[in-house]
Amino acid sequence: MSSASQVQDFRSFAEFYPFYLGEHRNPTCRRLHFLGSSLSLVCLALLLATGSWQFLPLGLVAGYGCAWIGHFGFEKNKPASFKRPLWSFMGDWVMYKDIWTGRIPF
């Protein structure tokens, strides 16, 4: 069950991350997060390479757009970023690393 009140009960990121993973059980949702994070990194690299700030909003739209499509369209839950934006952002990157390292199935 995905309850907004549950999101507020965590005292640390270490407590929050298992909940975060539970909100990403659907493989398509995880894949969309992975795609969005990868596109965001490409946009960041382009920003650094070109100095063109237009890549910053593109990276944000790519990252959050893919994630929200995954949540609303496939996971059928509300993104935790609405209640815990910093921990959710951190969770995105820890999950991204965990997918790359094979800890979480792609």
* Res 7: pLDDT: 57
Give, to the nearest 10 degrees, the angle between helix 13-22 and helix 85-100: 70
Domain boundaries, the chain: 27-100
Q: What's the whole-model pTM score?
A: 0.88
- Give the residue, 9 or 36, on which the prediction is more confident: 36
Is the distance from CB of 87 to CB of 79 less than 8 angstroms? Answer: no
* Res 82: pLDDT: 83
Give me the mean pLDDT over the 20-44 stretch.
97
Task: Give the count of beta carbons closer than 10 Å to the beta carbon of residue 40.
Answer: 24
Give me the mean pLDDT over the 22-49 stretch.
97
- Taking 60 as the threshold, does the pLDDT of residue 3 lie above it? no
Q: Rounded to an integer, what distance in angstroms lies between the CA atom of residue 31 and that of residue 48?
A: 26
* pLDDT tens-place string over residues 76-98: 998 888 888 999 999 999 999 99
- Taking 90 as the threshold, does the pLDDT of residue 58 lie above it? yes
- Taking 50 as the threshold, does the pLDDT of residue 5 lie above it? no
